[in-house]
C-alpha cells in the first residue's frame, strides 16, 4: 500500500513540475468551487428542512466548470473538457431561468 501511495504522490509531483504550480492551484480552485456547490446546497436544504437548490449552486457550478474547462484544455484532456462543456450549458440555462423568474412582475392572488 505504501508503494501505491508513493507512486501516486510521485505522479502528482511530476504533473505539478511539468505544468507548474500556478496551473495546479488554478485546477484545484476550480475543483473546490465545483465541489463547494454541494456544500451550499446542503446547508440551504438543512435550513429550509427540505431539498432546495439555491442560486449560488448554479453560480459555483458555472465558475467551477469554467475553471476546470480551461484547466482540461490546457492539459489536453479531451474527456474532462467535453464533460465540463456540456454541464456549462445546463448551469447557464438555470441561471437564465432564475433571473427571468425574478424579473417577472409579481401577480397578486385574486
Domain for residue 9, yes or no? Answer: no
Range(s) of the domain holding residue 83: 20-100
Split into its structural domains, the chain has a count of: 1
- Does the model's pTM come out above 0.95? no
Confidence of residue 107 (pLDDT cuts 50, 70, 90): low
User: Is residue 86 a part of any domain in this protein?
Assistant: yes
- Condensed to tens digits (0 to 9), the pLDDT of residues 26-78 reads 888 888 888 888 888 889 889 999 888 989 899 999 999 999 999 899 888 88
In the chain, alpha helices (H) = 2-19, 21-48, 55-75, 78-103
Please indicate, yes or no, if residue 7 is contained in any of the structural domains.
Answer: no
Q: Considering the domain boundaries, does residue 10 fall inside one? A: no
On whether the CB atoms of residues 82 and 48 are closer than 8 A, the answer is: no
In a domain, 5, yes or no: no
Residue 105's SS3 state is: coil
Report yes or no on 11 lying in a domain: no
In a domain, 63, yes or no: yes
Confidence of residue 80 (pLDDT cuts 50, 70, 90): confident
d(CA 99, CA 96): 5
110 lies in some domain? no
Amino acid at each position: 500500500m505504501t508503494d501505491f501511495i508513493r507512486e501516486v504522490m510521485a505522479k502528482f509531483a511530476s504533473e505539478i513540475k511539468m505544468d507548474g504550480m500556478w496551473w495546479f492551484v488554478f485546477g484545484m480552485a476550480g475543483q473546490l468551487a465545483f465541489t463547494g456547490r454541494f456544500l451550499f446546497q446542503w446547508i440551504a436544504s438543512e435550513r429550509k428542512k427540505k431539498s432546495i437548490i439555491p442560486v449560488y449552486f448554479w453560480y459555483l457550478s458555472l465558475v467551477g466548470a469554467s475553471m476546470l474547462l480551461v484547466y482540461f484544455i490546457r492539459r489536453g484532456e479531451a474527456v474532462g473538457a467535453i464533460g465540463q462543456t456540456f454541464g456549462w450549458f445546463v448551469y447557464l440555462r438555470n441561471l437564465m431561468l432564475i433571473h427571468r423568474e425574478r424579473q417577472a412582475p409579481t401577480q397578486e392572488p385574486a
